[in-house]
Amino acid sequence: MLIIHSDRTRQRRTQTELSGGELVSPFECPERVDYIIQRARDAQLGDIREPMEHGIDPVLAIHDRGYIDFLSTAWQHWKADGHAGEAIANIWPTRRMPGRHIPRNIEGRLGYYALAGETSLTADSFESALLSKDIALTALDHVLDNGNSAFALCRPPGHHAAVDQFGGYCFINNVAVAAQRALDKGHQRVAILDVDFHHGNGTQDIFYARNDVLTLSLHGDPMDEFPYFLGFAEETGEGPGEGFNINYPLPSGTDYTTWAKHLELAKERISEFRPELLIIALGVDTFENDPISSFKLKSEDYLDVGHRIAALGLPTLFVMEGGYAVEEIGINAVNVLKGFSN
């Protein structure tokens, strides 16, 4: 399987993540990519190629222009205001003050465009997010041109990024940008299956009222897990999109037997939809030793995940999302791709 990868993903090395009331070294670190690419090489998974630039238009086909302007200038404004640390949101529009105006002050703007406080915005955030989207789009080009599958080794991840919000380590929604691009290139129907431990809130938000992109997500029950405020089973889409969003919230401690049953349910819905392209939001934070998650998948289970996805018989674009057990992330991610290919 072709792999799209760039060493420039290393340029995003954030210093801080607000976690448990402390500023810790971020879970979403550059070494994640090092372990995956090393394992892909060792396993001789396939050719490794550099991403091509795709510009900003595919991003603006999904995200709000004001949000993208914010991302591109936020660090400059944050520094100009004399703040010492990385930019962390600390106030939000909430139920009793719904945010009808976009503040002028960067602290207010940060809260307006953030969905969570764990994602520090830094000098390299926007550039890194653009690179990550280019990795996804280059891999997509390959799938569209050749009809076979590819792996986009994206970093930072994307599935939490909504139309006009960043958070959950995500700035640009890579799978959404890729799905829209496939439609703009002539596809009629694209399915996005999100197997990251966390609900793909951004992807759901972006396509919620549409029936040309089927979105499905298997994830930790939002009653107990990030992002808490979206990802419930009753969220099935709206308007023309009714029935085209499917959530499978699963309890803490879910093992592979239970998880795989829900994967099969998702696959039935995908087959019924008859997409021309399948995009997998590939998080491996479902792993038993993931430091921020609570499912119980084992390394060998990921081979079977890939095998089951392959049974759909669709051109498939794998896009890297989460996974924070850094030393095992390579084994787990590559196992999915190996299981798919064999």
What sign for the dihedral angle of Cα 100, 65, 322, 11? negative
Instruction: Using CA atoms of 53, 55, 57, 63 in order, give the dihedral in degrees to the nearest 10.
Output: 90
Cβ proximity to Zn ion, 168 vs 275, nearer residue? 168
Residue 233 burial (C-beta neighbours within 10 Å; 0-12, 13-18, 19+): exposed
Contacting Zn ion within 262-291 (CB under 5 A): 283, 285
From Zn ion, ligand SP5, none, interface partner of 292 (C-beta below 5 to 8 A by class): ligand SP5
What minimum distance in Å lies between the beta carbon of 239 and ligand SP5? Answer: 28
Residue 31 backbone dihedrals phi, psi, to 5 degrees: -60, -20
> Which residue of the set 160, 187, 198, 219 is catalytic?
160
What minimum distance in Å lies between the beta carbon of 295 and ligand SP5? Answer: 12
Contacting Zn ion within 198-227 (CB under 5 A): 198
Does 160 qualify as catalytic in the annotation? yes
What minimum distance in Å lies between the beta carbon of 188 and ligand SP5? Answer: 29
Please tell me what DSSP assigns to residue 253. T
Examine residue 156 and say whether the peptide bond preceding it is cis (omega within 30 degrees of 0): yes
From ligand SP5, Zn ion, none, interface partner of 315 (C-beta below 5 to 8 A by class): none
Helix (H, G, I), strand (E, B) or coil at 102: coil
As a three-state string, the secondary structure of 141-196 is HHHHHHCCCEEECCCCCCCCCECCEEECCECCCHHHHHHHHHHHCCCCCEEEEECC
What minimum distance in Å lies between the beta carbon of 57 and Zn ion? Answer: 28
Cα–Cα distance between 218 and 123 in angstroms, integer? 33
What minimum distance in Å lies between the beta carbon of 118 and ligand SP5? Answer: 5
Q: Does 302 bind Zn ion (CB under 5 A)?
A: no
Residue number, nearest CB to ligand SP5: 322
What minimum distance in Å lies between the beta carbon of 25 and ligand SP5? Answer: 14
The two tokens of residue 105 are 């002050």
From Zn ion, ligand SP5, none, interface partner of 157 (C-beta below 5 to 8 A by class): ligand SP5
Cβ proximity to ligand SP5, 111 vs 283, nearer residue? 283
Cβ proximity to ligand SP5, 126 vs 183, nearer residue? 126
**Which of 26, 167, 200, 322 is close enough to bind Zn ion by CB under 5 A?**
322
Cβ proximity to ligand SP5, 160 vs 296, nearer residue? 160
Specify the DSSP element, H or E, that contains 17. strand 17-19
325-255-311 Cα angle (round to 5): 90
Residue type at 1 in one-letter notation: M
Cβ proximity to ligand SP5, 241 vs 322, nearer residue? 322
Cβ proximity to Zn ion, 141 vs 321, nearer residue? 321
Cα–Cα distance between 326 and 4 in angstroms, integer? 20
**Which of 194, 196, 221, 301 is close enough to bind Zn ion by CB under 5 A?**
196
Cα–Cα distance between 315 and 329 in angstroms, integer? 24
Binding site for ligand SP5 (CB under 6 A): 118, 157, 160, 168-170, 196, 198, 226, 283, 285, 292, 321-322
Q: Does 340 bind Zn ion (CB under 5 A)?
A: no
Catalog residues that contact Zn ion under the rule CB under 5 A: 196-198, 283, 285, 322
Q: What is the set of active-site residues?
A: 160
